[in-house]
Chain A
Amino acid sequence: MMHRSSPPHLLVFLLLAVFWLDAAGTRTAIIAQEGNGTSNNDSETGSPTRTVVFEADDSNATIFDYHQIKGRKSSGSRFGRREGELDFELTGNSRIQSMTSFGTQWSGNAHLLWDGVVGESMNSSFDVDRTGVYDVMIQLTLAGDYGLFRMTLPNTSVNREIDLYSPRVELAPTIVLKKVRLEAGRQPIAFKLIGANNKARKYRNRGYLMGLDFIQLTPTDMPHNSGNTGAENSQDHQKIVDAVTNQRNPDTATVENSKAMTTQQLAEFTRAFCIDCHNGESSDTEVNFAHAVNGQNWQQDPELLRLARNAINHHEMPPETADQPDAAQRRAAAATLNALLTDYLLEHQNHAPTTMRRMTRYEYNNAVRDLLQLRGDIYPLPEKTLRGSHDYFRPATGQSPRAILIGNRTLGKNQVERQILTGVTPFAIDLQAEGGFNNRGEELGFSPILLESLLRLGKTIVHSPEFDGYCGLTESLFSAPESTTKLDLEARQRISRFLERAFRSPVEHATINRYCDYFAVRLKQTNSFRHAMKDVVAAILASPRFVYLAEASGTTSKSQHDSYALATRLSFFLWSSIPDDELLATARDGSLLDPQVLDEQTQRMLTDPKCHALTQNFARQWLRLDQLVTAVPDFERFPRYYSRIGCEQWKFGLQTMIEPLLLFDSIVMEDRSIMLLIDSNYTYRSDELQSWYTDEVPFGDRENRNRFNTNQQQYKRRSLTDRREGGVITTAATMTMTSSPLRTNPITRGAWVATVILNRPPPPPPDIVPPIEADDREIESSGLTLRQRLKQHQSGATCAACHSKIDPLGFALENYDAIGRWRNEYASGLKIDSSGELLGKLKFHDVVELKDELLRHPELFMRAFSEHLLSYALGRQLKVSDEPAVNTILSKVMDARGQFTTVVRAITQSHAFRFHGHEPSPKASEMPVPAMPVPAMPVPDAKGKQ
């Protein structure tokens, strides 16, 4: 038993620390190319692109205009590199080998390794996004026991012999094949072992090896993005190549031209710069390196490695007040830690499993709606914020409407439908995970109360008086067949078809029999085919095979999901609902397991209006918009936030909340770049919301009655020229919900930006939080701005370490008051200082420059957004082991300039999405504990669960 004052086990601390720091996923690396623009051309010759940690001044870098990205035609992965260890199918003897012990020159620090005897072939395949003519660059490895191979690309004329012998382990000269025509889809490639160099020695006395580092495809026939001038193009082109190469393994990139440290050197570095605080005894930190200084334990703890790598790489540590390593030392340490981490991840190639979960109440609504082909929802859900009065969300058109008539279910008046089907009421709302989404198995529990709800729901839905007119299956499923001779057979056919759709899996005879038996019993009791069939459906709606998203357990980390499970995963990701018939058909014949079919289905589903769930469910949670519901700007200070209708009071948040969601809608519908979420030159606003932003006194001189509309409003698409507006960060919704009643709250705002925009959630506040005046006027009366006051307040080094990173992001937004309106100075006339640094390095003077920095370093937001969406798609928290998947996704997203469909497609193509997670062997401290202590007294209760 732990003594109550003793520090818990190191591992627990570390896990917790990482949990907090990384609540929603993996972390962003801050990398950019060299500031002076003298980028190299190494990529042409195939050796890894040299990159460095960027050291500020790159203010001259051009900003790409992301408004050019629009339309459903993917630009493909133009500069994508296919890594041997990540992107090639592993068959036969193929496996991944970490190359860090041989140097840092291998891309991704690893390659695909194969061995065989003469006559055998290494067969594999890789993806080609688009049919076309490419320059193909092939990077192989040489070594003393590597053989002589004939390489073929079967659908092309490529066929050549390659000798991979070298006395040393090193990269082979890059092979460049000019102008090879490749078909879109999975492209086979083969290396047949045909012999060996005379000097080569045999591997295990029998055969020879080969190593494939990467293949890079450069299209020779594709025009660059329309709208770009040629001059910009070449620069852009290089920039993307650099960025993509960096992103593959961002933190290797920091250091590829720096030397790795030895274990001994790393230990010395740690002793010199870390151990004074991180020794397990300091009360200021829970990160402890004491066990790791000897270098051995590092390898055992990837979370600690990542924490350390990122802190050093991002200049977060050592703290400003402590001794600093020089730039070379810093790079070398980061490189070494990264190499150790990469080693670990490759050896343990394995992502975390997704815990089986039940549907949320939002998903249950959609699933029942689609299963029974209902005309609308089954119950009103206040969390489904957007209530369009017309079906404006039609992504197939590729065009978001000029104007949308819309209300706010969450906050608006008369917007939540009282009841849809009589007697049908939802179960309790599912709460979001901290820094994450509400679709995680750990938190979606099941209780007797929920089962009661489901039993009641099933029954009340099908027997509600409105049901027959509301359901599209009234005839085909529920109506008694004309002929009664083969009634049983007909019922059986209907039930078995329905079960397959409801359970999203093949249904065995025993199960069909049980439901048919139940049908027969109910038919006998009610003497009504329709009634009996409804009872069958009611039961199915409460079945675990309907309400759980279960994925059969994989035998290894490399086993693919079964096609039905993959279909379910895909439809719940894009639609928050069950698969439709077309998707189910690809599951039935197994074709969905083909990545190309999976991609086609992904693209098809993104044109279906059902993907409005990405706005209603994902975007709302991602933006934490729920916090606007209870925002209460002080009534006297901000009277215009309120309007009285009758005796009720309404908040303007009901209009502001809609703006960021409609922007998101338009990005999905028009397939625009996610970078518009940072900065857009258009937005959707009602006239009243426009007045809120632009008029000195919004709503003119209207009194507090009927000051603004609380029902539906016409939201018009408006061009923006003022860059203080646009994107989601500076919307009135965000600014209001991150404020206190009497003032802005820069810390809350900074934490919001860090979490939502950068996916670098700050650690929770410490137990001791000194208070700050609730009213900025009180602060200003002492002659201080809020910023100066907060600075005073965080004089301690412990506070400053975190706040110096969080707060500047909030201060950048100080020009927006507590209800999101622009102000040039504080009420007292004191000057607003909105300058700061992004992630400690990128300097800005105001919010527009902050946006510029985010646009100039799009990898920051693209990574964060990809991580959020991947976490949502998987229904789990991302782990350090997901880093390779995120890097691959990011490189595709970078290629496509953040085009929305590319983000989604890259996710559905990712290993993490398509393959099983694998439960790691539990460490002692993580062993599941029995659910309850064993009572000493006998508890004869049959269900005793111990």
Chain B
Amino acid sequence: MKKNRLSRRAVLRGSGVTIALPLLEAMQGNRTHASAMIPAPRRLAFFYIPNGVVQSAWNMNEVGRDYQLSPTLQPIESVREEILVLSNLDRIKVAGTDGHAQASTCWLSSAAPDELSPAGYPLKRTIDQIVADSAGRETSFRSLELSCNPYEDNRESIYFDNISWFGHGHVARSMRDPIEVFNRLFRVEEYTNSTSVLDLVMEDARSLGVKLSAQDRHKLAEYTEAVRTVEKQITRVRQRQHDIAKLNPTTPIKAWQAMRRDEFIQVMGDLMILALQSDLTRVATLMTGPERWGSPLNVEGWFEKPIQHHSWTHGQHNAEIRKQLERLDLFHIEQFVQLVKKMRDIKEGDGTLLDNTAFMLGSGLSSGEHHVCNNLPSVIAGRCGGAIKTGQHVRYAEGTPIANLWRSLAMAMGVNVRRVGDSTGLISEIS
């Protein structure tokens, strides 16, 4: 049986920097030798597109294997055997809170309206974090949260900018600087000898905690939880220090502010893939951009002038605007498919990285025009170790909660969750 391997050179596309992966043995250290007979780990990753999609160009009539791809989904033709398209999955809309903020914060939790944070959004632990509770036990990093938020102003609050939440009012803040992401994954020596410091500050947390109110102790738990996570991280990173050293990656040098839009998304995607491939983590979320954020944005090569994604979504009954918006949707699908192909090209055992991954594209809104939450765009690439029946389009009964999908994906990752948000059951295409 073949062993897990990394490709010889992983290229951080566009940033002009290559990560040299000189030795196949790099990832064939003691760990993989010992686990030669153990199947490759399963991974779960999410690719978020904000503000919904143009429904008329997205939806498809036919279901089953021989469905005709809609205009927006054309790019998946080249990988359609790897893809499961799901229609009619819904999220509960929480009346009275902002349609966009809840799209990002509630997408992966499907939290119900009676589960409000003080700020007004339901913020239950999201499915990626629930899965990471188990899947993150063996990897250096329990999970990875990335964002290609391209805006340099700070117009919106954290609710628009994050899809991953540890829980009530506790955000798993996404990283948006590829250089920082890189350093986090590969340049960890700066804090790996911090064990004794962690002991000190943990004691400080204890001495602080006794004086606090219940609410504040809850807040302090964020800190102590971070300490425990980092402690484990240090142990695991140390165990794999040898492997990581052999990867000998080079820090990317180009600042994200200077990247083209597609370049930014691909570089972030590459970092995510690299982390999944080298088993530094098994759970990742990647936001292509934040919700709403009414600032103009350059999408080089696709649009001549800065685009206004959010205001376009509200103007899409105008045919001219709709056409532009469809083009932007297409751009996002194109980015997704490029990453899918990269994952497919990475051999892993007898299959590929993609075979062992569920990589899902979606949005917390189906259409941004009226902030609709029914029939959310949902596309899964990869079979997650054989758990997912790809190569088809499935339309579920109207009103099927997307939370059923979250349960099923968790199940595919070996995590049995009895209920997520408003879930009513499981998705039959995932077992």
Contacts and interface: CB of A to CB of B under 8 A. Distances in A.
A552 B219 contact: no
A539 B197 contact: yes
A1 B115 CA distance: 11
A446 B205 CA distance: 13
Interface string A482-525: 00000000000000000000000000101100110010010000
A456 B116 contact: no
A441 to B, nearest CB: 6
B157 A446 contact: no
A434 B155 CA distance: 9
A935 B416 contact: yes
Interface in A924-946: 925-926, 928-937, 939, 941-945
B90 interface: yes
B208 A286 contact: no
A928 B218 contact: yes
Given A2-B92, A357-B219, A553-B211, A941 B203 contact: no
B200 interface: yes
B117 interface: yes
Interface string A529-550: 0000000001100111100101
B114 A2 contact: yes
B211 A767 contact: no
Contact of B311 (A12, A771, A931): A771
A8 B216 CA distance: 29
Contacts of B56: none
A356 B203 contact: no
B78 interface: no
Interface in B383-431: 399, 401, 414-420, 422
A7 B96 CA distance: 11
B288 interface: no
B223 interface: yes
Interface in A139-155: none
Given A433-B119, A446-B226, A447-B222, A353 B213 contact: yes
Interface stretch (B25-33, B79-87, B123-131, B329-337): B123-131
Interface string B87-101: 000101011111101
A344 interface: no
Given A12-B113, A447-B171, A553-B211, A544 B97 contact: no
Contact of A771 (B196, B321, B371): B321
Contact of A2 (B190, B208, B422): B422
B61 interface: no
Nearest to B131: A935
Contact of B168 (A508, A929, A944): A929
A19 interface: yes
Contacts of A709: none
B35 interface: no
B211 A552 contact: yes
B324 to A, nearest CB: 12
Nearest to B365: A767
Interface in B196-229: 196-198, 200-201, 203-205, 207-208, 211-216, 218-223, 225-229
Given A286-B96, A629-B153, A925 B191 contact: no
Contacts of A353: 213, 215
Interface in B136-174: 137, 142, 151-158, 161, 166-173
Contacts of A433: 119, 157
B42 to A, nearest CB: 15
Contacts of A9: 113-114
B204 A511 contact: yes
A449 interface: yes
A630 B152 contact: yes
Nearest to A8: B113
Given A4-B422, A353-B215, A455-B191, A630 B96 contact: no
Contact of B212 (A550, A764, A944): A550
Contacts of B133: 932, 935, 939, 941, 944
Contact of A449 (B173, B399, B414): B173
A931 B212 contact: no
Contact of A451 (B97, B200, B226): B226
B166 to A, nearest CB: 7
Nearest to B410: A935
Nearest to A458: B197
A63 interface: no
A450 B174 CA distance: 11
A830 interface: no
- Interface centre among A7, A551, A943, by most B CB within 10 Å? A943
B154 A428 contact: no
Contacts of A447: 166, 171-173, 222, 226
A356 B217 CA distance: 9
A767 B157 contact: no
Contacts of A8: 94-96, 113-114
Contacts of B196: 518, 521
A741 B308 CA distance: 10
Contacts of B176: 428
A626 B222 CA distance: 29
- Interface centre among A429, A452, A944, by most B CB within 10 Å? A452
Contact of B318 (A460, A550, A771, A933): A771
A936 B96 contact: no
B191 A933 contact: no
A434 B173 CA distance: 17
B17 to A, nearest CB: 19
Contacts of B98: 434, 764
Given A4-B399, A630-B155, A936 B321 contact: no
B230 interface: yes
A433 B125 CA distance: 21
Interface string A312-337: 00000000000000000000000000
B227 A19 contact: no
A455 B230 CA distance: 10
Contact of A553 (B115, B153, B212): B212
A542 B124 contact: no
B116 A12 contact: yes
A666 B271 CA distance: 48
Interface in A448-497: 448-452, 455-456, 458-460
B223 A539 contact: no
B414 to A, nearest CB: 8
A933 B420 contact: yes
Contacts of A450: 173, 226
A447 B204 CA distance: 17
- Interface centre among B137, B190, B205, by most A CB within 10 Å? B190
B152 A539 contact: no
Interface string B172-197: 11011000000010000011001011
A720 interface: no
A548 B208 contact: yes
B169 A443 contact: yes
B195 to A, nearest CB: 10
A944 B133 CA distance: 8
In the complex, the 8 A-B pairs of residues with the closest C-beta atoms, listed nearest first: A931-B167, A16-B96, A553-B213, A771-B315, A932-B125, A630-B295, A629-B153, A356-B216
Interface of B: 90, 92, 94-99, 101, 112-120, 124-125, 129-130, 133-134, 137, 142, 151-158, 161, 166-173, 175-176, 184, 190-191, 194, 196-198, 200-201, 203-205, 207-208, 211-216, 218-223, 225-230, 233, 295-296, 306, 308, 311, 314-315, 317-318, 321, 369-372, 399, 401, 414-420, 422
27 contacts: A356-B216, A431-B157, A433-B119, A446-B170, A446-B223, A447-B172, A448-B142, A449-B175, A459-B190, A460-B190, A508-B207, A511-B207, A515-B200, A538-B197, A544-B201, A550-B211, A550-B220, A553-B214, A630-B151, A630-B153, A741-B306, A768-B370, A771-B315, A771-B321, A933-B419, A935-B418, A943-B225
Given A548-B219, A934-B418, 11 more contacts: A8-B96, A16-B116, A428-B175, A442-B117, A448-B230, A452-B191, A518-B196, A545-B208, A919-B213, A926-B116, A936-B417
